[in-house]
């Protein structure tokens, strides 16, 4: 959440994996093979959890309701990923709020790939990046995701992370970036430069970026000023110019924080390659009861687009598991038509990730083959398929991801 103090303001085909979220146990339907992405595919969903700070302060059940709904609806809704938009708590120095949110989001652990990121309220002193961030690191740092196949790694101070997940036959990268992500794009020791280095490591993965403050609801535009007390950070417009627009693999940006109007905004922008980027803001904390646990369902609907040129659709719904009600106004329910194949390449491109022995499935034989190859044994494997995380090396992380895929397939 923010005060109103600020002044007003892929290219090429990718490798594909099997139709499951790595290491998460989520069953995901696939986008169809060559031709239209999806005449035979099922929809799949990314869930965005807007600022939960008031729920933490008041110790309400809304975030627990959200997490339990996600866990229960995972298969029916084909929930591939969950992204928290920041401001986990209201008072970053109040450990009771962190304990409440840690317990509330526990149903997500081991159930579905997810991430959190720090908003301005998550530092010990509101909006002061020089104050302590230890509570966030303790309760929602990388250790919370230890052993999960989807977790890719963390950047400076463990406040920025990336995740790898698969859905609809596509391999995705997700970047979770801290509030007003600081640094320089050409310095990987900073948060902004680290984010650029991750994009360069996975250039063929369609990417979703989540950060806390980026797009305003009123006036609707990217932020033009840094709000951090010491001027440490990067405003949304510069994040767009330096990180989003030059990297054509980024097709969606999710954010929260702003609620001067109704806490909702969306727009379609053209990046440096003329490709569309879908930018979505949601922050319901200034509404009655903090929005009654409203969340965003971003549903990818193969074959549901409005024309032959744009046969697929990304449809956005706003829903409260606590009240079991949808918001149906134009700011809350909307969508975008596109052609998945034209944007991302055919879902049939490339070998089946994890299928190291090339027999058409992923099982314990593949895990064994990958492990033996890592150990230096003379074993014949398809190295492209064995490189499950698509980082150019076959290592223990690939063995773990192949094991998770194998177990999900049983």
On whether both 68 and 130 belong to a single domain, the answer is: yes
Supply the pLDDT for residue 38: 36
| Whether pLDDT at 56 is above 80 | yes
Is 89 within the bounds of a domain?
Answer: yes
Q: pLDDT tens digits, residue range 269-301?
A: 999 999 999 999 999 999 999 999 999 999 999
Q: pLDDT tens digits, residue range 134-154?
A: 999 999 999 999 999 999 999
On whether both 238 and 376 belong to a single domain, the answer is: no
Vertex 308 angle, CA 302 and 311, to 5°: 15
What are the tokens at 257?
């924080």
On whether both 166 and 66 belong to a single domain, the answer is: yes
Is 194 within the bounds of a domain?
Answer: yes
Q: Show which of 292, 314, 344 is a domain's final residue.
A: 344
- Residue 169 belongs to what domain range? 44-344
Give the pLDDT band (50/70/90) at residue 323. very high
On whether both 286 and 172 belong to a single domain, the answer is: yes
On whether both 317 and 369 belong to a single domain, the answer is: no
Supply the pLDDT for residue 39: 37
Supply the pLDDT for residue 337: 97
Write the CB contacts of 329 (distance below 8 Å, at least 6 apart in sequence): none
Give 151's strand partners: 163
On whether both 314 and 371 belong to a single domain, the answer is: no
Task: State how many domains the chain has.
Answer: 2
On whether both 175 and 254 belong to a single domain, the answer is: yes
Mean pLDDT of 331-340: 95
Averaged confidence pLDDT in the chain: 88
On whether both 228 and 369 belong to a single domain, the answer is: no
Mean pLDDT of 75-80: 97
In whole angstroms, give the CA distance from residue 313 to residue 361: 29
On whether both 110 and 232 belong to a single domain, the answer is: yes
Give 172's strand partners: 165
On whether both 235 and 368 belong to a single domain, the answer is: no
**Percentage of residues in the chain having pLDDT higher than 90:** 74
User: How many residues are listed for the chain in this entry?
Assistant: 410
Is 131 within the bounds of a domain?
Answer: yes
Supply the pLDDT for residue 345: 79
| Whether pLDDT at 9 is above 80 | no
Write the CB contacts of 102 (distance below 8 Å, at least 6 apart in sequence): 139, 140
The CATH number given to whatever domain includes residue 92 is 3.60.21.10
Is 12 within the bounds of a domain?
Answer: no
On whether both 319 and 369 belong to a single domain, the answer is: no
| Whether pLDDT at 45 is above 60 | yes
In whole angstroms, give the CA distance from residue 202 to residue 206: 9
Is 216 within the bounds of a domain?
Answer: yes
Is 142 within the bounds of a domain?
Answer: yes
**Percentage of residues in the chain having pLDDT higher than 70:** 88
Supply the pLDDT for residue 37: 34
- Whole-prediction pTM value? 0.82
On whether both 269 and 380 belong to a single domain, the answer is: no
In whole angstroms, give the CA distance from residue 336 to residue 343: 13
Is 271 within the bounds of a domain?
Answer: yes
Give the pLDDT band (50/70/90) at residue 32. very low
3-state secondary structure 134-169: HHHHHHHCHHHHCCCCCEEEECHHHCCEEEEEEEEC
Q: If DSSP codes are grouped into helix, strand and coil, which group holds residue 398?
A: helix
Give the pLDDT band (50/70/90) at residue 11. very low
Supply the pLDDT for residue 379: 87
Give 27's strand partners: 20
Is 268 within the bounds of a domain?
Answer: yes
Least confidently predicted of 134-138, 206-210, 312-316, 386-390: 386-390
Supply the pLDDT for residue 29: 28
| Whether pLDDT at 126 is above 60 | yes
């Amino acid at each position: 959440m923010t005060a109103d103090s600020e002044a007003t303001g892929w290219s090429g085909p990718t490798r594909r994996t099997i139709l499951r979220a790595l290491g998460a146990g989520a069953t995901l339907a696939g986008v169809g093979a060559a031709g239209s992405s999806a005449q035979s595919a099922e929809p799949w969903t990314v869930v965005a959890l807007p600022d939960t700070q008031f729920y933490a302060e008041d110790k309400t059940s809304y975030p627990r309701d959200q997490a339990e709904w996600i866990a229960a609806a995972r298969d029916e809704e084909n929930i591939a990923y969950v992204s928290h938009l920041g401001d986990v708590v209201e008072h970053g120095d109040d450990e009771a709020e962190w304990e409440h949110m840690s317990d509330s989001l526990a149903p997500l652990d081991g159930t579905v790939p997810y991430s959190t990121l720090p908003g301005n309220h998550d530092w010990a002193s509101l909006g002061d990046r020089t104050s302590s961030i230890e509570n966030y690191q303790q309760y929602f740092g990388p250790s919370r995701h230890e052993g999960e196949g989807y977790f890719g790694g963390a950047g400076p101070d463990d406040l920025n992370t990336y995740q790898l997940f698969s859905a609809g036959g596509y391999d995705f990268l997700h970047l979770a970036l801290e509030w007003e992500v600081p640094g320089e794009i050409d310095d990987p020791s900073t948060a902004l430069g680290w984010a650029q280095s991750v994009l360069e490591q996975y250039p063929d993965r369609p990417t979703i970026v989540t950060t806390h403050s980026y797009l305003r609801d009123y006036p609707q535009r990217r932020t033009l000023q840094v709000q951090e007390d010491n001027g440490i950070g990067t405003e949304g417009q510069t994040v767009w110019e330096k990180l989003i627009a030059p990297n054509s693999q980024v097709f969606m940006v999710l954010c929260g924080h702003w609620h001067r109007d109704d806490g909702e905004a969306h727009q379609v922008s053209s990046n440096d390659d003329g490709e569309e980027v879908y930018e979505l803001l949601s922050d319901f904390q200034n509404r009655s009861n903090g929005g009654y646990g409203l969340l965003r369902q971003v549903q990818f609907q193969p074959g549901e687009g409005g024309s032959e040129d744009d046969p697929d659709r990304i449809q956005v719904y706003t829903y409260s598991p606590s009240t079991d009600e949808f918001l149906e106004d134009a700011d809350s329910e909307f969508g975008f038509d596109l052609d998945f194949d034209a944007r991302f390449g055919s879902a049939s491109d490339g070998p089946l990730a994890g299928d190291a022995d090339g027999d058409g499935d992923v099982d314990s034989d593949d895990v064994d083959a990958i492990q033996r190859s890592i150990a230096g044994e003379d074993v014949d494997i398809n190295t492209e398929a064995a490189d499950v995380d698509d980082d150019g090396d076959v290592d223990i992380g690939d063995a773990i991801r192949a094991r998770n895929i194998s177990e999900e397939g049983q």
